[in-house]
Amino acid sequence: MLRWVRQQLGFDPPHQSDTRTIYIANRFPQHGHYVPQKFADNRIVSSKYTVWNFVPKNLFEQFRRVANFYFLIIFLVQLMIDTPTSPITSGLPLFFVITVTAIKQGYEDWLRHKADNEVNGAPVYVVRSGGLVKTRSKNIRVGDIVRVAKDETFPVDLVLLSSDRVDGSCHVTTASLDGETNLKTHVAVPETAVLQSVANLDKLVAVIECQQPEADLYRFVGRITVSQQTEEIVRPLGPESLLLRGARLKNTKEIFGVAVYTGMETKMALNYKSKSQKRSAVEKSMNSFLIIYLIILLFEAILSTILKYAWQAEEKWDEPWYNEKTEHERNSSKILRFISDFLAFLVLYNFIIPISLYVTVEMQKFLGSFFIGWDLDLYHEETNQRAQVNTSDLNEELGQVEYVFTDKTGTLTENEMQFRECSINGIKYQEVNGKLTPEGFSEDSPDGNIHSLMKEEELFLKAVCLCHTVQINADQTDSADGPWHANGIASPLEYYASSPDEKALVEAASRVGVVFTGTTGDSMEVKSLGKPERYKLLHVLEFDPNRRRMSVIVESPSGEKLLFTKGAESSILPRSKSGEIDKTRVHVDEFALKGLRTLCVAYRRFTPEEYQEIGKRLHEARTALQQREERLADVFNFIERDLELLGATGVEDKLQDKVQETIEALRLAGIKVWVLTGDKHETAVSVSLSCGHFHRTMNILELVQHKSDSTCAEQLRQLAKRIKEDHVIQHGLVVDGTSLSLALREHEKLFMEVCKNCSAVLCCRMAPLQKAKVVRLLKTSPEKPITLAIGDGANDVSMIQEAHVGIGIMGKEGRQAVRNSDYAIARFKFLSKLLFVHGHFYYIRIATLVQYFFYKNVCFITPQFLYQFFCLFSQQTLYDSVYLTLYNICFTSLPVLIYSLFEQHVHPHVLQSKPVLYRDISKNAHLGFKPFLYWTILGFFHAFVFFYGSYLLMGEDTSLLGNGQMFGNWTFGTLVFTVMVITVTMKMALETHFWTWINHFVTWGSIVFYFIFSLFYGGIIWPFLHTQDMYFVFVQLLSSGSAWFAIILIVVACLFIDVVKKVLYRHLQPTSTEKAQMEEDKGSVSSACDFAESRHRGEDNRQLLDPSSLPDSTYVH
């Protein structure tokens, strides 16, 4: 129990040594002195709190806020010394704020716990006691043998023991981990691969020794020792034996594996960043303003205390006849008295710090976040998914984004390749109704007879069908009487490919008549127009990024040795000696301009002598121990020459809807877009071009394939120099993962300088933690820009958690990104509405809310300070204590809360159609020092007008009440308070652009409520109140005509200057937003006039046509 508690609190690291020893099926040695290693359980935790730490951790986070901590101090002061106001005035609001915030954050974390429990409670099958046992994912222990079926996700990191195949291989897609959709082949060691049944596995006696968990997805070092009869067989284990949690089993019925890393020690979890409390820029601004107001407060308290003692230096004021000191007061220490008076003034003025600001902000964020979920423009009908808010603390941050970091696979693209066009022997073809049709031709009948292929077309399609790494679903067969049409057009085969392009090409070939039907042993089978052909696969020349091509050498049914090659045009065309090279080059450029991914296809025939020479060279290079890679590259170059060009293909990676428009809109809004992907260099660049991230006119700079620090630094310097020389044109930068690691190690500043001068950056071959490092690099740069990360897979989680705002896409790659994000949307295109409309509104609303709160509290407390000059700094309060408590809670709270929920200063359609307006609010423009200064000075100005206006207008000459009595101090205070409530409420009304019935109700209702409450409070003797200073004060005040005159005059005087300032600025120095508002107003006026005019015209026409029509008949045009 103690160990469990220690683990929950994070004090007990489960393992200590450098390696871990795992006994398969937990068969530990029988000798007595063996102590099993301790391993983590298989729970995944994305939540922030536990039952044990919620209260202390949440309280610690809340009291980090300046205002909360300050009010705690004030509350303690009120408890300890005799102060002018009751401790309840501070304690009650503080308790309310802390409780509401804790409930909100607790609820959000409960939702995370719920999501975790869903994952941890998923059913899994484990081999125990000679049979398969169904259990929950969280119960898997290190050493358990787990069974995973086809299309299931691996629940832990497993070492593969066996599969349903004889060779112990299986195919896996890691799309949710690294964004790669290709199938990866994993193999078991021969000794365990033969154990394909539960009974056989239960007898297995083996030990795995491997490294402790680390985050690198592509690294695993270990060994397995299998005990067979009397001997022990030791086999090495590498990444090809490790199946990672989050990856999915494909093309294999089932596998058995042993759990080696569990729970938060799996590579997927180690690539998550720990969830830290994200705080918005607005909250940081609020804390800065609070500190300034604290300084004002301390200044007022110190000044009041000093002036009090300056007054009391005169004996007549020190101890007047009506207020004699007690013996204890005369003998008490002057220093203690000074401190006591200072604290009393501190308590008297403490309302200048608005505690209700925090609770209003919390309510605004929580209630406001529902609008995102309710927005039908963010609803995706096909998948029935609406936008989701996981944390409401960052709503306004959506209006401050300067950098967007986006994943590529599944975020910008649908991850679906579609064959579009091809060029064969210099002629362009398109696929029409399952037939290859030359451009400009059209088929008369959609379903004609068997379409015969020309020799060149058939050879091209065979090259496409043979030169690839495509696999076929093991469940399917190629039986002749299977579900084939006579011409081989309809293909029921399910292909799995190492790249989506290959899959699209093989599928396209099968639709037009040449069908790849699978591999058996070393043979590849193809059906050409229904006729089966078998090609013997002799050699595969694997793809590599330097050559940018792949090849196969096959033996045709006639015994001929052929080389088929496909790759980038830059690597195929220069090596071709015959074929329509020039025409194909033109076609390839045309395809590329359409944003298609292009590949060229070529072939070569070998004589028996040439093939013998090639076979010998290949064998030597492949068995070389020294410089194997260089020797292989030389042999590949020797083989892949003197090619005969067959043609080229154009495949479209289907982009998500409106991705190009969204990226362009982000650019217009002043937001820089970086694409961070785990995909290949060529693929990533191609998608960047097609989605508008890179423009065709852009100068694309590359920092790729650097192995050493020096070459990387040199390249960076050259890039920086080129950018300075060509500063007129736009630059795009391409970086790969290895070069990025080198650049960040020593040359961070230089790298950042190059990146900031590029209008678009693409990072490819990125590991998940590298993505987070790039985001952190930008976040912590001197400008401290606000960053947003968006992705759909588990490989994006670290980046999503690192950025200021993390957005998950509800894609095809699991739910990890959505679970760990701040917001989740169904498609990338929804990002524009989320930022330009919701983000803009949230920021404007909360910026005004914060400034207004400080303004109304300055208005509230400054008259209290000025009043001390008239009462010998005796700490007499100007307002009644009930008014002190209710000012922020009741009288002025609702108008600003409703404003902060419903305000729309510009129509949403205008904001979305004019992304430039987003620049008006960037860099925290509305919460900068100038707006803050303006609101503060306005608050002080209004406070002076309230106090001295009331003082001058209700001086000795006009101070008679309706019953002939003179004004008292409570009547004066109530007059100031009445003017203040009306003015600050009207000020909020002036700020409101979007009026609904709710705005009208709370604005005028707040003023009416104040009057009704004051009449009731002062008109009745309440038995539970000790003193009732306000009895009949308000009624008598309102019975005075001069008081009404004073109220109206002071309110008009205060707001008149503000109105004049608004009008002048709007016409002399309008912002883009104000211009849009004026255009919108003109548009609505003109459309109303047009409507009225057309209606009159319609009526006139109708009366001309029908003289007998009634005079009051209406017509809507």
Q: Kindly list the catalytic residues.
A: 407
774 half-sphere exposure, CB direction, 13 A CA radius: 37
Q: How far apart are CA 1008 and CA 985, in angstroms?
A: 11
Q: How far apart are CA 668 and CA 647, in angstroms?
A: 40
909: burial class by Cβ within 10 Å (0-12, 13-18, 19+)?
A: exposed
Can you give the three-state secondary structure of 831-859, one letter per residue? Answer: HHHHHHHHHHHHHHHHHHHHHHHHHHHHH
Q: How far apart are CA 116 and CA 126, in angstroms?
A: 21
- DSSP per position, 283-312: HHHHHHHHHHHHHHHHHHHHHHHHHHHHHT
Give me the phi and psi of 734, to 5 degrees please.
Answer: -115, 125
Tokens of 458: 């058939």
Q: How far apart are CA 255 and CA 149, in angstroms?
A: 7
The one-letter code for the residue type at 994 is: F
CB 681 within 8 A of CB 764: yes
Segment (H or E) for 1050: helix 1041-1068
Q: How far apart are CA 355 and CA 348, in angstroms?
A: 15
Contacts with 105 (C-beta within 8 Å, 6 or more apart), sequence order: 49, 58
Can you give the three-state secondary structure of 397-414, one letter per residue? Answer: HHHCCCEEEECCCCCCEE
CB 178 within 8 A of CB 768: yes
CB 216 within 8 A of CB 767: yes
The one-letter code for the residue type at 146 is: V
Q: How far apart are CA 515 and CA 472, in angstroms?
A: 12
Beta bridge partners of residue 775, listed in sequence order:
none
Contacts with 545 (C-beta within 8 Å, 6 or more apart), sequence order: 680, 681, 682, 705
Q: Is 134 helix (H, G, I), strand (E, B) or coil?
A: strand
Tokens of 231: 């001997």
Strand ordering across the sheet containing 231-237: 19-23, 206-211, 222-228, 231-237
Q: Which of 712, 710, 716, 746 is nearest to 733 (CA)?
A: 716
Q: Is 628 helix (H, G, I), strand (E, B) or coil?
A: helix
Contacts with 894 (C-beta within 8 Å, 6 or more apart), sequence order: 1002, 1005, 1006
Q: How far apart are CA 949 and CA 976, in angstroms?
A: 9
Q: How far apart are CA 758 and CA 765, in angstroms?
A: 20
Q: How far apart are CA 870 and CA 877, in angstroms?
A: 11
Q: How far apart are CA 1008 and CA 186, in angstroms?
A: 75
Q: How far apart are CA 948 and CA 125, in angstroms?
A: 81
Q: Which single residue is written with the structure tokens 């709160």?
A: 853
Helices (H), 447-498: 455-466
CB 301 within 8 A of CB 342: yes
Burial 864-879 (b: 16+ CB within 10 A, else e): bbbbbeeeebebebbb
